[in-house]
Amino acid sequence: MRTQSRCVVLAVVAIAVVLAFGATTARAQNKCLAGKTKCVNKKMVALLKCHNKAEKKGLAVDPCVQKAIDKFDGGTKGIAYSCFGKIEAKNDGPCLTFGDLTAEEAKVDAFVLDVVQELDPGYPEPILNACSAGKKKCVLKKAAGKLKCHEKCHRDPGKGLRKNNSRFSPRQGLGWIV
């Protein structure tokens, strides 16, 4: 009797531990979310590269930006040909959200505009400033690295942002952004 009650108590404790710790740390893979994160990352990188290139050469940024936008949202072909449209059509993951292209595009545009305006108070006037262009490149690398880490986390839960953060730590003298 005593051994049987001890086994029951141990079983209950084991189940409680699995439910308490196992359920919170286990996260499901989501290829759809990883793909959408990759799309957002590509647009952000393309836009910041456009601004960087335009600032280095003193050119207008419009043609390059339009090309990046068209790649992201499908351009004249429509949303079905956009990065998000193709991923949502596959529904490989499964997708948790649908039709969120416009919302995500607005977030990317707002981020890029914020970065550009912080580093270039005179934007949209084209200027030649190698220092500002270099800072944009640094922001581009850090943000792209973080989004790439998130993409990997969605594909393979358990991977973190530690590597990307350490690369740009001011303690190591490798970057200017914390």
Answer whether residue 134 is part of any domain: yes
Answer whether residue 17 is part of any domain: no
User: 163: which DSSP letter?
Assistant: H
Q: What is the CA radius of gyration of the chain?
A: 23
Per-residue pLDDT tens over the stretch 158-171: 655 555 555 555 55
**Amino acid 1: pLDDT:** 52
**Amino acid 44: pLDDT:** 92
| Separation between Cα atoms, residue 157 and residue 140, nearest integer Å | 24
pTM equals 0.69
**Amino acid 107: pLDDT:** 93
Answer whether residue 12 is part of any domain: no
CA dihedral for 49, 51, 52, 57, sign (positive or negative)? positive
What range defines the domain where residue 115 resides? 29-172
Q: DSSP string of 102-161?
A: HHHHHHHHHHHHHHHHHH-TTTTS----HHHHHHHHHHHHHHHHHHHHHHHHHHSTT--S
Answer whether residue 100 is part of any domain: yes
Per-residue pLDDT tens over the stretch 77-103: 888 888 888 888 888 768 888 888 889
Answer whether residue 10 is part of any domain: no
**Amino acid 178: pLDDT:** 40
Answer whether residue 20 is part of any domain: no
**Amino acid 148: pLDDT:** 85
Answer whether residue 73 is part of any domain: yes
Number of domains in the chain: 1
| Residues with pLDDT less than 50, the chain | 5-27, 172-178
Answer whether residue 79 is part of any domain: yes
